[in-house]
Amino acid sequence: MKPLLEVNQIQIAFESDSEEVISVEEVSFSVNPGETIGIVGESGCGKSVTSLSIMGLLGKNGKVNKGQILFGEEDLTKVSNQRIRDIRGNEISMIFQEPMTSLNPVFTIGNQMIEGIKLHLKMNPKAAKEYAVEMLKKVGIPRANEIMKEYPHALSGGMRQRVMIAMALACKPKLLIADEPTTALDVTIQAQILELMKTLQKESNTAIMLITHDLGVIAETADRVIVMYAGQVVEEADVFTLFKEPKHPYTQGLMASIPHLEYESEQRLASIPGSVPSIKHMPAGCRFHTRCPYATERCEQEQPRLKDVQAGHKVRCWLTEEDGLRTNSDQPKEEIFT
Amino acid sequence: MVPYIIRRLLIAIPVLFGVMVVNFIIINMAPGNPVDMYVDPNSSPELLEMRKEQLGLNDPLYIQFFHWLGNLAQGNLGYSFSTYEPVSKMIFERIGPTFELMGLALLAGLIIALPIGILSAVKQYSKLDYLATGTSFFGISIPHFFLGLGLIYIFAVQLQILPAGGMSTLGSEDNFLDKVQHLILPVIVLAVGISGQYVRYVRASLLEVLGQDYLRTARAKGLKEFVVTNKHALKNALIPIITIIGMEIPFLLGGAVITEQIFQWPGMGQLTIQSIMSRDYPTLMALNLLTAFMVLFANLLTDIVYSFVDPRIKYK
Ligand SMILES: Nc1ncnc2c1ncn2[C@@H]1O[C@H](COP(=O)(O)OP(=O)(O)OP(=O)(O)O)[C@@H](O)[C@H]1O
Ligand SMILES: [Mg+2]
């Protein structure tokens, strides 16, 4: 199957005070039509930057220096401004982490809904309005007709995120990028929103790129997972493999830090020692070596590449490349990461 | 909304009273008194005393004040000490020219400032931005008397294409073109300062909005940058600007003291200067009352307009 989106070895840099800071490097992954791909990683590892680069929304200071973002036949890093605007909100949509601030406070929900519909679906105002109401109903907003006339401040966070979803899905995009869509919401609303996204995805065969901190959310929704660390992809696998056999020490650390109900209550929750290196001072060699319990001399000097260890399972680590066999079952992970 | 407005108006009454008490005290504390100003200095002390008695200046201050207040309650602002005309008539004659001058200046200033401020914010730290902020700084700091005299020197004295002052040429009071010609220079002087300020306000306010999440949402919809800036960002950025414009309303009627003086513009600013110079207490009190009232009124008006542009604000 030909992937819908293929991100190929991209490097993203930001201009700040006349110096260039590289935020994301050698990031590659692909998204197939209709699948859900999860992206996890610590704060600041470049998840949002990667997704914004697909939308061409890096802003004035940011740009993709190297690599390609293939969407169909087109390289999104090279298309014209006009073309990327046609794609945004139409073929690729995005919803953001902060529903409270993502809607414009001085325009009605209806106004903001209709804007994109008129632009991409070329509907007349009346038809656009009816369609907007229909979309609001679809995402489970009660009194959709009245909500159209409301301003965002009158809606709760969960409702606003539903509006964002309605807006994002109105033009039946092929890809929906959801950047931590539920982080700002409470748990019950979180589950509802994820459920809603799944239902709508099935209806329209939209691929979803789900960015989150929450491994629980990943386990429930994603088909495939990409783990990012310090601006790079360190592991990619389907969701079962990743949870069962995480290969990269960082992924193993992440897994060990999930609380499990069945564990003894006195057992301490594991955490990864140290903190993410800052983008201005990336360590040489493997970027994780400063925190890795298995780090060798080679890890400090040479940077590993993202390599296939099995079909569909890629890891960026010298250890797996060398013996290819060692898994986390060799040593109990809790001992390593405490 | 209506109960809110009524409440605000009722609150305004004690505020106005307080303001006028303070004004009255300060005016009377100033050295000198009206009689010394108008009466021939060679007249006898008895005559001066008689005039003072006539004008009620020998009464205790609080009696004078309540006298003034009593007249005010009957809609009588008193008579000028210097021209003996009713104060209301004097103000009425002056308010039109001032409103015309100040209104046009504010309008011109805003029309210049808005696009420059927007461009300056959108292209922050560009050459254009530096040019705009630099020029606006110049506009704010150049004194009105200096710019006014400079313009008079160039356009009225040297080039002789515009009049040096006044509202119209004698004999052609109804000539529209003549009126416009008289307006040009004073409006420019005032608009330079106003647009200088507003370029900065618009720029600062828009910059604050430009980083907001909802603009990213608007861009993510595929909207053109022009729509993102001029629809989504600008409407938010203009909300604080409205307050600033609202605070400008009292000046629309208060007049521009120095500019009116330089251009011999028969407006409120000139009247204010004249009545201070001649210790014309009734006129001064009336002018201060009007200003205080306008400030309160402008605040209320601003709050009301606010509730229309910002849906988050509702008054009950
Ligand atoms: N506009 C920008 N200018 C300069 N650097 C930026 C900019 N945006 C992001 N960065 C940098 O890029 C890196 C990646 O940021 P990004 O927002 O993608 O992280 P993230 O993985 O989404 O984190 P979080 O989970 O907190 O959302 C960070 O180090 C950040 O400082
Ligand atoms: Mg992020």
Residue A323 corresponds to which amino acid?
D
Interval B192-223: pLDDT, tens: 999 999 999 999 999 999 989 999 999 999 99
ipTM value: 0.87
- In angstroms, what is the span from residue A42 Cα to ligand 2's centroid? 9
Confidence band, pLDDT 50/70/90 cuts, at residue A333:
very low
CB of A45 closer than 6 A to ligand 1?
yes
Residues of chain A with CATH 3.40.50.300: 5-222
Residue B286 forms part of a structural domain: no
Q: Is B219 close to A57, i.e. CB distance below 8 A?
A: yes
Percent of chain A topping pLDDT 70: 92
Give the best residue of A76, A84, A104, A171 to mutate against chain B (max B CB count within 10 A).
A104
CB of A59 closer than 6 A to ligand 1?
yes
Instruction: State residue A338's pLDDT score.
Output: 42
Residue B40 forms part of a structural domain: no
Is A206 exposed, middle or buried, given 0-12, 13-18 or 19+ CB atoms closer than 10 A? buried
Which residues of chain A are within 8 Å of residue B210 when distances are taken between CB atoms?
none
- Of the CA atoms within 13 Å of residue B125, those in its CB half-sphere come to 5
Residue B277 forms part of a structural domain: no
Confidence band, pLDDT 50/70/90 cuts, at residue A329:
very low
Residue B130 forms part of a structural domain: yes
Judged by its nearest atom, the ligand closest to the C-alpha of residue A57 is 1
| DSSP element (H, E) containing A221 | helix A215-221
DSSP string covering A134-196: HHHHHTT-TTHHHHTTS-GGGS-HHHHHHHHHHHHHTT--SEEEEESTTTTS-HHHHHHHHHH
Separation between Cα atoms, residue A257 and residue A245, nearest integer Å: 15
Instruction: State residue A325's pLDDT score.
Output: 45
Is B100 exposed, middle or buried, given 0-12, 13-18 or 19+ CB atoms closer than 10 A? middle
**Residue A220 in 3-state DSSP?**
helix
Separation between Cα atoms, residue A234 and residue B298, nearest integer Å: 62
Mean pLDDT lowest among A68-77, A189-198, B40-49, B301-310: B40-49
Residue B182 forms part of a structural domain: yes
Question: Is B201 in contact with B106 (CB distance < 8 Å)?
Answer: no
Which residues of chain A are within 8 Å of residue B206 when distances are taken between CB atoms?
none
* List of residues 6+ apart from B161 with CB closer than 8 A: B155
For A165, name the nearest residue in chain B, comparing CA atoms only. Answer: B217
Which residues of chain B are within 8 Å of residue A88 when distances are taken between CB atoms?
219-222
* List of residues 6+ apart from A53 with CB closer than 8 A: A10, A12, A24, A62, A64, A69, A77
In this model, does residue A193 exceed pLDDT 80?
A: yes
* List of residues 6+ apart from A230 with CB closer than 8 A: A45, A46, A276, A277, A279, A282, A287, A288
Instruction: State residue A336's pLDDT score.
Output: 45
Instruction: State residue B39's pLDDT score.
Output: 67
Q: Is A104 close to B232, i.e. CB distance below 8 A?
A: yes
User: Which residue in this structure is represented by tokens 């969407």?
Assistant: A71
CB of A320 closer than 6 A to ligand 1?
no
- In angstroms, what is the span from residue A279 Cα to ligand 1's centroid? 9
Interval B55-104: pLDDT, tens: 888 888 888 899 899 988 888 888 888 888 999 999 999 999 999 999 99
**Whole-prediction pTM:** 0.84
Residue B241: CATH number of its domain: 1.10.3720.10
- In angstroms, what is the span from residue A210 Cα to ligand 2's centroid? 11
Domain containing residue B198: 92-266+303-309
Neighbours of B5 (CB within 10 A): 13
How many domains is chain B built from? 1
- In angstroms, what is the span from residue B21 Cα to ligand 2's centroid? 59
Which residues of chain A are within 8 Å of residue B212 when distances are taken between CB atoms?
101
For B123, name the nearest residue in chain A, comparing CA atoms only. Answer: A60
Fold of A5-222: Rossmann fold (3.40.50)
